[in-house]
Structure 1
Amino acid sequence: MKNFVLALTLLFSAVTFAQTEVSDADLNKFANAYKAVQMENQEVQQEMIDMIKKEGLEINRFQSIQQASVNPEQKVEATEVEMKSYKTAVSKIEKMQPQLQKEMSQIIQENGLTLDRYQEIGAALQSDQALQQKLQTMMMKEQTKG
């Protein structure tokens, strides 16, 4: 599950190496979009947790099986019932992905950015500490308002 959320995060902060100019207005839009995406991610995580539990697996058990499935060096013993539950949960989560990506893109657009621009700003933030500081300051000011 963490891998899924990580994949979503990577999707929305894909690295591009072009130097990007970011206006204060765009940075503010990014901040708002980022917060909205984070809130949506939390809701989606809870849905996935509920789905996994409905399949009869505890989250820690699901994660152990997940980690073993992507890391051949990590071994985990699972019963047939656990594996069936795991596979059903993974299948349901995978079926959710296109809709989730659409919703994330829509959230970004509702905050005044295109998906490409959101990704450009995310990439610029990864390599520009001054921009990171500016974003952090902007988000802190917004928190103290609310």
Structure 2
Amino acid sequence: MNGSIELPDGTRIRGRGLRRPLPEGSAPDVGLYLGSGRLRRRHDDSLTWPHTWIDWPDFLLPRDGEQAAKDIRSLYERARGGEAAEVACGGGVGRTGTVIACLAVLAGTDPVDAVAWTREHYERRAVETPWQRRWVRHFPS
């Protein structure tokens, strides 16, 4: 899938911002989308593949952290199984970067190093806030 990155264990994932055009190439098999009801209303109809939304306000943390962790693990397992998977929020940086860092933890990266790994391999500004960085450090692998 165009624009995907390889996690430390070889699993592939694509991160993007929903405000940007869909990359050329095949659509994902599964998606995990992060945002408020407003972002969901704006973009949900264009997501024609199986997907899940996490209620996650911009610059903050998911409203239900336990359910979010389950959804992130599910996305990882599907991607690990070979499905083309994507994660996205509005801009594709903070929330998306946070999830990619959590996926890196699931793929074997030490939680302390996951944000740096994500910034090196995905987006240099990923995981924008101190509370997002803290959430990654405590993400259960």
Normalised by the length of structure 2, the TM-score is: 0.25
Which has the higher relative contact order, 1 or 2, with Cα contacts under 8 A spaced 6 or more apart? 1
Higher helix proportion: 1
Q: Which structure is larger by alpha-carbon Rg, 1 or 2?
A: 1
More strand by share: 2
TM-score of the superposition, structure 1-length normalised? 0.24
